[in-house]
Structure 1
Amino acid sequence: MRKFEVSSLKFDDKGLIPAIAQDADSGEVLMMAWMNAEAVEKTLETGQVTYWSRSRQSFWVKGLTSGHTQELVNFRFDCDRDCLLVLVNQVGAACHTNRRSCFYTDVKDGAEHEIMSPMT
């Protein structure tokens, strides 16, 4: 076993890496967002998943304002070290539309179908 170094990850030219959040118990894919090196470090240090908001150019601790938190269960990266998978305990909605998952639309027979309603 070797020590993990954040610098071993492959960030894009903007210093970002995609991070997929997956429910640790059900395996449901919840969302995809971006992290920079400092967000990775904060996530690993605190256990609260922290992303980098490209639109706000600031850190975004999932659930800090909404209460819909993501507690880190396991932190993984792919074989190329250019994509992250964070297994989480999700409290409430993962999507800003108040749905459990951001992946609530599918395509069948050339038409979009909403497969998940907002949480109440």
Structure 2
Amino acid sequence: MTASVPAYTVPSPEAVDALLSEVRFNSDGLITAIAQQHDSGEILMLAWMNADALRETLLTGRVCYWSRSRKGLWRKGETSGQMQKLVDLRVDCDGDAVLALVHQDGVACHTGRRNCFFRAIRDGAVVNVAEPLISEEELYGR
């Protein structure tokens, strides 16, 4: 049996504007965004959002980030199918980071791992502590 995804309630545009007015974007117009699996608490990834990405995320319920390398909006799962559905979004006490509680379809990391935090020190060496669940070729058709 698959656990159901809590329904996301899209806020009014006025509520979105109010939240955006409380967010402190950095000098590049970005804010740190942490994605966390809503039911398990697993931290999936850290990325960036600009005002447009944050607004789109809140108004659609589908998580959107700002890609610093592509210099454009990055709708999670657009090319891989590994979407993130928003369950809740929270702003930290300083207003300089957001926590997106999400339902992750499939893997979150572009390497095919469940999350992006798979490197750790073990016995004095940096090692991978998680293996890919799906190949990059399967994810992106490369």
Tell me which interval the TM-score lies in, with the shorter structure as reference length: over 0.9
- CA-atom RMSD, angstroms? 1.0
Q: 2:61 aligns with which of 47, 51, 56?
A: 47
Q: Distance in 2 between matches of 1:5 and 1:84?
A: 11
Structure number with the higher strand fraction is: 1
Q: Write the letter of the residue equivalent to 2:122.
A: K
TM-score by length of 1: 0.94
- Which protein is richer in helix relative to its size? 2
* Alignment gaps of 5+ in structure 2: 1-14, 135-142
- For 1:54 and 1:97, the matched residues in 2 are separated by 18
> What is the letter of the counterpart of residue 118 of structure 1?
P
- Taking the aligned partners of 2:24 and 2:123, their CA distance within structure 1 comes to 37
* Structure 2 length-normalised TM: 0.80
* Aligned pairs (5 A) from 1:1-120: 3=15, 4-120=18-134
> How far off is 1:109 after superposition?
4.1
SS in 2 for 1:5: helix
Q: Distance in 1 between matches of 2:38 and 2:89?
A: 11
Structure 1 stretches (4+) deviating beyond 2 angstroms? none
Deviates further, 62-71 or 101-110: 101-110
Structure 1 gaps of 5+ residues are none
Letter aligned with residue 40 of structure 1: L
What is the identity percentage for the equivalent residue pairs of Structure 1 and Structure 2?
A: 53
What is the CA–CA distance in structure 2 between the aligned matches of 1:95 and 1:111, rounded to whole Å? 22
Q: Find the aligned partners of 2:75 and 2:20 in 1 and give their Cα distance.
A: 19
Output one character per residue of 1:6-65: Cα deviation in whole Å (capped at 9) or x when no partner: 021000000000100000011000000000011100000000000000111100000011
